[in-house]
Each structure stands twice: as structure tokens, then as C-alpha cells.
Amino acid sequence: VQQTYEAVLLSAGPPSAPGHQFEELFFEHYPRLVKTLLRLVGNSGQAEELAADAFYKLHQHRSQQQPDENPAGWLYRTAMNLGLDALRSDSRRVRREEQAHRDALAHEAPGNPLYEMLAEEQRERVRTVIARLKPIHGQVLLMGSSGFTSKEIAAVLGVKLDSLYVLISRAKAQFEKEYTCLFVRSDGRTQ
């Protein structure tokens, strides 16, 4: 059915401001989402940017389609995908690594600067492995290491606890396999 331009404008109505529910969701999950993404991408500014993108996409998703029954799950899944995309982007990653090295050398850490640099290298290794996993595996591992309880993760993912445990078990096994393949030498020592 063809619509006239006026009809479309009238049906559009006034601009929809973020609803109350969206605001509640934002204030409840934004800080934890930023922390989780920070572990994934290693840059607080980028983590906040990705989190804001995820909320913006959530709003667009809910305004265009039927409201999701599990908006938090959709939000974390989207944020994780955005983070993994950013992590897999070579240009950003190289830039971040260079920035991490510069930061490690420039900022006089209270401990040993060399230790900080090695720690950052280790973080990069872990992120590299996460980027190679399935997104759902990476998400559960990352949320678990960020302080989410199993029940919270299950609620976010919309799965039962038993299923979550299986998911975590397989994610960790896959993580170990990938990590060993990439960074552990045949004599059992880390490269």
C-alpha cells in the first residue's frame, strides 16, 4: 500500500526520547558493560565508545522491532560482538598495542616498568585467544572473569544453569587448546 509523504510524517509522531525502561537499563548495565569491554579491548575510551554503540543499537533494535524479552542479553551479545570486531581489527589492535607499550614505558609505574610491559603483553595474548573463540564462548569467559556470577550470566544469556556450565566448560577447554597452540612451547613453557 502506497503511503503519502504526509501520512508518513504524521505516523512518525514526535521524536521518541529514550524511554524510562531504556534509562534504567542504561544505568544498570553501562558500568559493568564498560568494565567487561575494557578487559576485552584494553582501552577505556574505546570500551566506553563500544558500550555507547551497543546501547544505541539496542534502542534502534527496540524501536524498529518488537521489544526483546531479554534486552540485557541482546545488549551484552551485541557489545561482545562489537568488542570482538574491534579486537580483530588489525589496525586498531596494532595502534592499541603501540599505545600500551608507550604507556608502559612513559608512565612510571610504581613497580617495575618492565613488569608492566610484560603484563600488557600477557593481556594481549589472552585477548588474542578470546578473539579466536566462538563469540558465545568468549562472552561467558569474559563475563565470568569480570565478576558476573553464573546466575547473572545465565540470565543475560537466557539459558539454564546446566547449559551455562556446559558452555563454560567447553569454552575453557577451547581456550586452553588455543592458548597452548599459540603461546606454549613443546617443553611446556610459555613463549
Partner 1 sequence: MMQCLSESDVQGYLEESGPTPLRQTVEGHLVSCARCRVEFDRVVATHQRVNAWLSELASPADATAVDVHTAFARVSNRIDAHDHLARLLAPAAVEIPWYISLYRSLGELIRPVKLPPLDVTSRPVAVKTIWGLYARDPRSRWVSVGIHAAVFSLLMFGFTSPTMQRAIRQNFTILDPNLKPFVPDMKPQGGGGGGGAREAPPVSKGQLPKPSMKQFVAPQIVDHTPKLATDPSIIAPPDTPLPQSTLNNWGDPLARLMNGSNGIGSGGGMGDRRGGGVGSGNGGGFGLGSDGGIGGGVFHAGGGVSAPAVIVKVDPEYSEEARKAKYSGTVVLSVVVDQEGRARDIHVLKSLGMGLDEKAVEAVQKWKFKPGMKGGQAVNVRAQIEVNFRLL
CB 81, min distance to partner 1, A:
18
Residue with cell 524501536: 63
In the bound state with partner 1, the residue whose beta carbon lies nearer, of 3 and 70, is: 3
Residue with cell 577451547: 174
Q: Pull the grid cell for residue 154.
A: 545465565
CB 90, min distance to partner 1, A:
20
- Phi, psi at residue 184, to the nearest 5°? -110, 130
CB 122, min distance to partner 1, A:
5
Q: Please state, in angstroms and rounded to a whole number, the distance separating the CA atoms of residues 148 and 152.
A: 6
**What residue type is assigned to position 2 of the chain?**
Q
In the bound state with partner 1, the residue whose beta carbon lies nearer, of 51 and 156, is: 51
CB-based contact 149:161 (threshold 8 Å):
no
In the bound state with partner 1, the residue whose beta carbon lies nearer, of 81 and 165, is: 165
In the bound state with partner 1, the residue whose beta carbon lies nearer, of 77 and 167, is: 167
Residues at the contact surface with partner 1, assessed by CB under 8 A: 2-5, 8-9, 12, 15-18, 23, 26-27, 30-31, 34-35, 38-40, 42, 44, 48, 51-52, 55-56, 59-60, 119-120, 122-123, 125-127, 129, 141-142, 144-145, 150, 161-163, 165-166, 168-170, 172-173, 175-176, 179
CB 189, min distance to partner 1, A:
14
In the bound state with partner 1, the residue whose beta carbon lies nearer, of 144 and 158, is: 144
Q: Please state, in angstroms and rounded to a whole number, the distance separating the CA atoms of residues 172 and 182.
A: 15
* Cα–Cα distances in angstroms (integers) from residue 175 to residues 93, 106, 151, in the given order: 20, 32, 22
Contacts of 143 (CB under 8 A, 6+ apart): 36, 76, 152, 153, 156
CB 2, min distance to partner 1, A:
6
